[in-house]
């Protein structure tokens, strides 16, 4: 079967996806641990080097379930060949695309910086295809980050569709929250215009950040926490079971319900 999809730029750096990985381990870890068999995670479109797949295995085994297995899937055969020497117990690499050439359904699919090159209209069909491939209770995490992993935005989906959107950043590098707009995933990046929910959210995010400026003397983290408190008055921030809670906030993450940011129909 010919792989489904197109070749990405393949840009990758060590530790680029650490924020996403830590969120996955913290939020989805209980589901991984409940799996009777060793849970399978997929690093879809890992790029020109295998670092992100190697790191995903390490972080999930340390932070979620030591039985976790990871398969890196790439549509470019040369990248798969280059990754093969890095295979070890629990880590394999395969040639493929959105059709997911696997022996069993994965409990996690991570697709980082994959859909940015696609048209926005393609996103729902890709999401639906990947979600259908998940094992019961599985999670798809799809989003975008900068080249060195300081700023991320990702959508978490389950078998029913998109559930949450997480904004994550290195707080010391943040001027204002709307700086994260350039890292919005494909489903949202073209909707950051007046009249769209994500635009209103980022506007209110900036306003709450500005109002929390007095807390900056206590550090960027305290300013972020105060921002989240004020923002939660008007926006449905997720609770701890779905990606929120004080611990994740302290890591520079804010997770909001997808329903609040869902793009308007066209």
- Extract the tokens encoding 45: 């479109």
Angle of helix 220-231 relative to helix 197-211, nearest 10 degrees? 130
| Domain limit, last residue, from 169, 204, 233 | 169
Task: Tell whether 266 is covered by a domain.
Answer: no
| Domain limit, last residue, from 144, 169, 194 | 169
CATH number of the domain within which 87 lies: 3.40.50.150
Q: Read off the pLDDT of each residue in 129-154 and give the average, rounded to a whole number.
A: 96
Let me know whether 27 and 111 are in one domain: yes
Sheet strands (E) in the chain: 40-44, 69-74, 91-95, 108-112, 139-145, 151-158, 161-169, 253-257
Let me know whether 157 and 209 are in one domain: no
Q: Lowest-confidence range among 50-64, 127-141, 241-255?
A: 241-255
In this prediction the pTM is 0.95
Task: Tell whether 195 is covered by a domain.
Answer: yes
Task: Tell whether 109 is covered by a domain.
Answer: yes
Let me know whether 74 and 161 are in one domain: yes
| Domain limit, last residue, from 169, 198, 223 | 169
Task: Tell whether 112 is covered by a domain.
Answer: yes
Task: Tell whether 85 is covered by a domain.
Answer: yes
Which residue range is the domain that position 92 belongs to? 18-169
42 versus 117: which is more confidently predicted? 42
Task: Tell whether 191 is covered by a domain.
Answer: yes
* Number of domain units in the chain: 2
Query: What's the whole-number average pLDDT of the chain?
Result: 94
Residue partners of 197: CB distance under 8 A and separation at least 6: 191, 260, 261, 262, 263, 264
For residue 224, give the nearest of 188, 175, 260 by alpha carbon.
175
pLDDT, tens digit, for every residue of 67-98? 999 999 999 999 999 999 999 999 999 999 99
Task: Tell whether the model's pLDDT for residue 240 goes beyond 70.
Answer: no
pLDDT, tens digit, for every residue of 8-46? 877 788 899 999 999 999 999 999 999 989 999 999 999
């Amino acid at each position: 079967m010919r792989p489904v999809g197109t070749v990405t730029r393949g840009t990758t750096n060590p530790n680029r996806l650490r924020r996403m990985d830590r969120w996955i381990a913290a939020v989805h870890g209980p589901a991984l641990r409940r799996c009777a068999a060793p849970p399978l995670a997929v690093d879809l479109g890992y790029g020109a080097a295998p670092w992100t797949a190697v790191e995903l295995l390490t972080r999930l085994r340390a932070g979620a379930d030591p039985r976790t297995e990871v398969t890196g899937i790439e549509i470019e055969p040369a990248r798969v060949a280059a990754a093969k020497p890095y295979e070890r117990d629990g880590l394999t690499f395969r040639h493929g695309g959105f059709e997911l050439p696997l022996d069993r359904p994965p409990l996690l699919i991570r697709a980082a910086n994959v859909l940015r090159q696609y048209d926005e209209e393609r996103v729902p069909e890709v999401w639906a295809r990947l979600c259908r491939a998940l094992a019961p209770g599985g999670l798809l995490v799809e989003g975008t980050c900068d080249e060195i992993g300081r700023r991320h935005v990702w959508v978490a989906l389950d078998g029913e569709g998109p559930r949450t959107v997480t904004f994550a950043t290195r707080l010391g590098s943040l001027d204002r929250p709307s700086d994260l707009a350039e890292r919005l995933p494909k489903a949202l990046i073209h909707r950051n215009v007046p009249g769209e929910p994500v635009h209103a959210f980022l506007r209110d995010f900036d306003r709450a950040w500005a109002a929390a400026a007095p807390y900056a003397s206590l550090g960027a983290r305290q300013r972020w926490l105060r921002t989240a408190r004020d923002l939660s008055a008007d926006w449905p921030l997720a609770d701890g079971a779905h990606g929120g809670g004080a611990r994740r906030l302290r890591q520079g993450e804010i997770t909001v319900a997808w329903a609040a940011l869902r793009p308007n129909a066209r």
